[in-house]
Amino acid sequence: MSKVQSPRIALYPGSFDPVTLGHLDVIGRAARLFDRIVVGVIDNPSKSALFTAEERRAMICGELEGLGGVTVKTFTGLAVDAAAQVGAQWIVRGLRSAADALYELPMAHSNHHCGKVEIETIFVAASPEVSFISSSLVREIAARGGRLGAFVTSAVEDKLRKKLT
């Protein structure tokens, strides 16, 4: 008798304020590793976001149209609790640099132990062409009128420009 294998579900949590080409790179690459990816837009009241959680969710949905096996949800609270809500056994985190690893590794260890169930963190190294991108950098460039084509899609750029005018 063969064992029925449950789907491999991963949560990719973040603020995505706004979603960047780096985020999209990690989502696309992680989607090849798992049966289902849930992009978890974390609504953190202690952070002042440019876009609301619902605006960020809608923006990501627009960018991921046609990519099978990926859904987008908003969450509050701990990423491990969001993972449990969606049945994820893994959390995906993108790494751009060694500095990211220094921040992410203790978080991965904490996430492994602090939830209701143990969860593993999978690190996906960002592609070199997008490894310099951060949402905070994008917001600053947008606020100062700089070019954004290397950082975000044109649809996201339009939303940023409208939000900042």
Q: Is 102 helix (H, G, I), strand (E, B) or coil?
A: helix
- Of 15, 56, 93, 135, which one is the catalytic site residue? 135
Residue of 2, 3, 6, 47 marked catalytic: 47
Q: Domains of the chain: which residue ranges? A: 9-164
Indicate if 131 belongs to the active site.
no
> What's the pTM value of the predicted model, to 2 decimals?
0.93
Sheet holding 120-125, edge to edge: 70-75, 36-42, 9-14, 90-95, 120-125
DSSP 34-70: SSEEEEEEE--TTS--SS-HHHHHHHHHHHTTT-TTE
* Four-way CATH pick for 9-164: 3.30.429.10, 3.40.50.620, 3.20.20.120, 3.30.450.40: 3.40.50.620
CB 17 within 8 A of CB 51: yes
Q: What is the pLDDT of residues 78-87, one digit of tens each?
A: 999 999 999 9
Q: Check: CB of residue 82 under 8 Å from CB of residue 75.
A: yes
47 in catalytic set: yes
List pLDDT tens digits, range 90-141. Answer: 999 999 999 999 999 999 999 998 888 889 999 999 999 999 999 999 999 9
Dihedral pair phi/psi, residue 69, rounded to 5°: 80, 10
Catalytic residue among 23, 56, 57, 139: 23
Task: Find, among 28, 104, 96, the residue nearest to 60 by Cα.
Answer: 28
Nearby residues of 41 by Cβ (< 8 Å), 6 or more positions away = 14, 15, 16, 53, 56, 57, 60, 72, 73, 74, 75
**CA atoms within 13 A of residue 7's CA, in its CB half-sphere:** 14
For the question of residue 23 being annotated catalytic, the response is yes
Range with the poorest average pLDDT among 15-19, 88-92, 107-111, 152-156: 107-111
Q: Which of 56, 96, 139, 159 is catalytic?
A: 96
Residue 165's pLDDT is 84
